[in-house]
Amino acid sequence: MLNPDAHLALNIFSAGGGSAFGGDNPDKAATREGFGKGVVEAGKIDERVVVLTADLIESTNVGAFQKEFPDRFIEMGVAEQNLATVASGMAAYGKIPFFTSFATFNPGRNWEQIRTTIAINNVHAICCGMHAGLLTGQDGATHQALEDIAMMRALPNMIVISACDAEEARKATLAAAKVGKPVYMRFAREKMPTMTTAETPFEIGKANVLWKAKVESGKSKVAVFATGPVLHNVLLAAKQLEEEGVATSVTNVHTIKPLDEETILREAAIADTVVTVEEHQVHGGLGGAIAELLSQKAPTPLTIIGVQDRFGQSGEARELYEEYGLGVSHIVATIKKAMSRGTK
């Protein structure tokens, strides 16, 4: 059942047919839209906030900021290395720069500049990677960032955030403007169901348990940890599993670094097995981060659902989720298979 403390939107299960794409027209928005709203709010709160982009005003949703604060907006052109280094310099002199481009280029193309000028110097610059994940329309493999979490969570000093919906993306943007450290935030292009509300708690480094099955023994069969918009399919899968008598918990891990070790270890401890779900390579992402934590502090059977060492390809959103094993039926089947591996 939905965790009553999570303040989820009521439309969370209105996309009928076991899919996040269709049904009864739930409220939908892309996480990049939440960023666009959040960065304008951040700019109104703090005049040090500036925005830089690499010839992608519309795609990165920074047009509203440009209109509101034209003197605090910089168009860098298609020059992502300069995008990062200029942002680092501005941060070193007291500004709070959000620098934006497609995630395959930012941090994909300018990772070395981010490492050398931002992470090493521990300056407060926020790298915003748009069109992360599989759902980038017809752009195909060159524009589907499926490795960005692994790239960025390896950097010392770097915070890594992956919002589940537009409202959470708005809150994450506001939080990033205040944190005082380097931040990477990944945002998606596809409009997806809104799962949280303005009242849903958000704190960097603090995961939210959104689904908690009622079980007499107090022990869930499976603890599921998910990140990003695919969380909607995970919640639909949890609902289906509960109807079939399988108790699960679902935790939204919006901050992949630093991990909320306390919540993850607690939920893993009361489950027989652990499953992670992400729209990212299975290597180096959320699943890898949780595997590292559990192997050191609480060895637990773990199954990682994600992109299985493949590049993306062009396709409709529903088709891509099905092709890469992220559809509701695939998640249900994989969780059942994970349960059959044995218990702790």
Residues classed as catalytic: 80
Query: Quick one: CA dihedral 310, 313, 316, 319, positive or negative?
Result: negative
Q: CB within 8 A of 8, min separation 6: which ones?
A: 2, 195, 196, 197, 200, 210
Length of the chain: 344
Residue located via tokens 């480094």: 205
Nearest-angstrom CA–CA distance, 47 and 252: 32
**Which two structure tokens, joined as six digits, stand for 226?**
């998910």
DSSP code for 65: H
The dihedral region occupied by 228, where left means phi > 0, alpha psi between -120 and 50, and beta the remainder, is left
Query: Omega of the bond prior to 229 within 30 degrees of 0, cis?
Result: no
SS (H, E, C) 224-266: EEECCCCHHHHHHHHHHHHHCCCCEEEEECCEEECCCHHHHHH
